A and B are shown apart, each in its own frame.
Chain A
Amino acid sequence: MCTKMRPLDITKDRSELKTEGFTVKSTLKNSVVVGPRAAGAFRERPAKPTAFRKFYERGDFPIALEHDTKGNRIAWKVEIEKLDYHHYLPLFYDGLCETVHPYEFFARQGVHDMLEHGGIKILPVIPQLIIPIKNALNTRNRQVICTTLKVLQHLVVSGDMVGEALVPYYRQILPILNIFKNMNINSGDGIDYSQQKRENIGDLIQETLEVFERYGGEDAFINIKYMVPTYESCLLN
């Protein structure tokens, strides 16, 4: 009695039975063993409603939308320097999971402004940022991953010791980067426009890991390598 693996397109013989491997059914003569289902590592996982959206709709954020010529600025009702970073920065990070306007814009731009003007106030908040970052990456939504990677790059250079402070959290952040690291199109000699727009996830991940290594101190590389085995150092050799 033997069960051969045969291609799936056999529909001529109606008596054939499709079945999974290693089952009793698969030992039948007329059974055709199909391959295992996809695990769905790349499948998007819908995000839960974010706290950012709730707070925004309730009007808790000291921000207003301004339509300028480039359409990319937040008018802050309070000076950023006076904001409580422990409260607001994790909330804005929570909004990174959003994909619809205006939440997506406010979260992205709010994080950008707070990082740009935060200085020493950013470092103590880092432990609170890890879960929102992990959630955002876990959505596996291409747009969200792109935004989060750019935010991560900005975060690392936003203040002294921030890069080093992130090293213990690589275990939370890097698994998704490992999954998507090879997500690059081999277009031959064709033009891949996502490169120009900085939307190519494979390239962005490589950039991000390099920034992590540069700013993460001496333990950074070995920790990155542990989570992303295909990463090669940009500093050694």
Chain B
Amino acid sequence: MSCAVLLDGNCKPKSMSRASLWTDEIENLYRFQQAGYRDEKEYRQVKQVELVDRWPDTGFVKKLQRRDNTFYYYNKKRECEDKEVRKVKVYAY
């Protein structure tokens, strides 16, 4: 059963791998992980929100609310540098 169906339930990842190349997706994962979440799924579960604020032209995440209810704001342009790419964790469900 896919995880999208179980959005409100506890959705645990089955495996984790490290990113090796920068892509738009990796950039967004980096932003979620900076704010203390695994990925968008977990963010939407925890914060109970439908949509995440994104930059209109690039589609990168713009604003995230952290677990302590403070806000992180991200730039329009790429933030995850090449040396940071290996730190990004990609979870599979």
Contacts and interface: CB of A to CB of B under 8 A. Distances in A.
A73 B34 contact: yes
Nearest to A70: B84
Interface in B33-64: 34, 62-63
A67 to B, nearest CB: 12
Nearest to A73: B72
Contacts of A73: 34, 72
Contact of B71 (A68, A69, A70, A79): A79
A78 B72 CA distance: 10
Contacts, number: 33
Interface string A205-219: 000000000000000
A80 interface: yes
A117 interface: yes
A159 to B, nearest CB: 13
Contact of A69 (B68, B73, B84): B84
B87 interface: yes
Interface string A60-73: 00001010111001
B15 interface: no
Given A69-B84, A69-B87, A73-B34, A116 B76 contact: yes
Nearest to A75: B70
Contacts of A69: 84, 87
B89 interface: no
B34 A68 contact: yes
B71 A75 contact: yes
A16 interface: no
B79 to A, nearest CB: 9
Contacts of A78: 71
A44 interface: no
B2 to A, nearest CB: 32
A69 to B, nearest CB: 7
B71 A76 contact: yes
Interface of B: 34, 62-63, 66, 68-73, 75-76, 84, 87
26 contacts: A66-B72, A69-B84, A69-B87, A70-B84, A73-B34, A73-B72, A74-B73, A75-B66, A75-B70, A75-B71, A75-B72, A76-B70, A76-B71, A76-B73, A77-B69, A77-B70, A77-B71, A78-B71, A79-B71, A80-B71, A80-B73, A113-B73, A116-B75, A116-B76, A117-B63, A117-B73
